[in-house]
A = this chain, B = another copy of it.
Amino acid sequence: MPFQRKNIATMGGYVPGEQVDNDDVIKLNTNENPYPPSPEVAARLKGINSASLRRYPSPTAEPFRESAARCHGIAAENIVPTNGGDELLRLVLTTFAGPGETVAVTRPTYSLYRVLTEIQDNKLHEITLEDTWDLPKEFIQQLSVSNAKVCILVNPHAPTGKLLSVEALTEIASNFDGLLLVDEAYVDFVDLARKHDAVPMAIEHNNVLLLRTLSKGYSLAGLRFGYGIGSAELISPILYKTRDSYNTDYIAQQLADAAIQSRDYARAIWQKVREDRELLADALTKLNFAVTPSQANFLLAKLPDGRSAESLYLQLRSENILVRFFDQERLRDKLRISVGTPSENAALIAALTAKFVCTTE
């Protein structure tokens, strides 16, 4: 492996969920939104003149930044637009956690975090979740002794869908000397009854950043658009120093702006996904899966009778139904299933029923 830095040569690399170019596949494996983006996004796309592409875009995605700030009731200085949420994750390490410094995450969590720490040559400190997937009681103490510069929590948690309250996040941030990055990739799907909004807390604390993405909530995974929310002093070095100088393109800026301005459309979808999530959870429970209550647009479901999740994943795959299997401790007996359309969910349940319900033949 000539010329590679040692940490790069020895690392593995992130393996994204399978992408298929086949409309017959029921794709419940990468938490994509089952509905298209808003009509306003379609209209904005239609109105783009390719001639405008010859010029550089706004380096800081200015129209989107203003719209996002208005949407959250904060200032543009509290927002940094990024090329997908992934870019923000990388930029937080680039900006705040140098090689050899520690980054704390939970175990399990979104697997990209580990990969990013390997690239940045950080030390990774993993704090194991309880059997209920809650943070351990001594989480704050463990975080403190880890001496971490950055702690990344995905909330709602992946791959379980568990939600930490704003109060719990506040307690962590208030007792942590480092920077807390809360990855809110799935936060749009949290039940309204929870009244969950971490934005005010993030703005008030000088050590909290939130990650948002348009990939899930706004049906724009193909567009690569996310943003960070935080105090100006945390946002500023990312926006003006470590970010690639033109990190988002003109069309993406336009469509992201249209998406966030047509939030009411997205809101209706979020509600639909929440309702379908509960229906899907009920159906899986009836098939004796143990389903973790989820506030995201996916469910982590443990198979009945200790059956192999990997072989079920492969069986479903052979029937053109894709779900996600993680070859990791505590997850090998479970599948992560994205909430699809009612007909996609029904097709999955039908396929599972054929396998798990005893038939008298």
Interface residues of A (CB under 8 A from B): 1-9, 11-14, 16-17, 19, 27, 30, 32-37, 41-42, 45, 48, 50-59, 83-84, 86-87, 90, 94-99, 112, 119, 121, 149, 178-179, 206-207, 215, 219-225, 233-234, 237, 240-242, 244-252, 255
Please determine whether B16 and A86 come into contact, CB atoms closer than 8 angstroms.
no
Please determine whether B179 and A3 come into contact, CB atoms closer than 8 angstroms.
yes
A258's closest neighbor in chain B, by CB? B50
**A53-B255, A221-B54 known; A237-B19 Cβ under 8 A:** no
CA distance A52 to B219 in the complex (A): 9
Which residues of B are found within 8 Å of A207, using beta-carbon distances?
Answer: 2-3
> How many identical subunits does the complex contain?
2
Which residues of B are found within 8 Å of A36, using beta-carbon distances?
Answer: 50-51, 53-54
A207's closest neighbor in chain B, by CB? B3
Please determine whether A222 and B56 come into contact, CB atoms closer than 8 angstroms.
yes
CA distance A247 to B3 in the complex (A): 23
CA distance A301 to B229 in the complex (A): 44
Please determine whether B255 and A252 come into contact, CB atoms closer than 8 angstroms.
no
Which residues of B are found within 8 Å of A58, using beta-carbon distances?
Answer: 19
Please determine whether A245 and B16 come into contact, CB atoms closer than 8 angstroms.
yes
Query: Which of A17, A19, A222 has the largest number of chain B CB atoms within 10 A?
Result: A222
CA distance A225 to B56 in the complex (A): 11
The smallest beta-carbon distance between A229 and chain B, in angstroms, is 16
Top 10 nearest A-B pairs (CB, nearest first) are: A222-B250, A36-B51, A53-B222, A54-B219, A224-B249, A13-B241, A42-B50, A56-B221, A5-B98, A13-B240
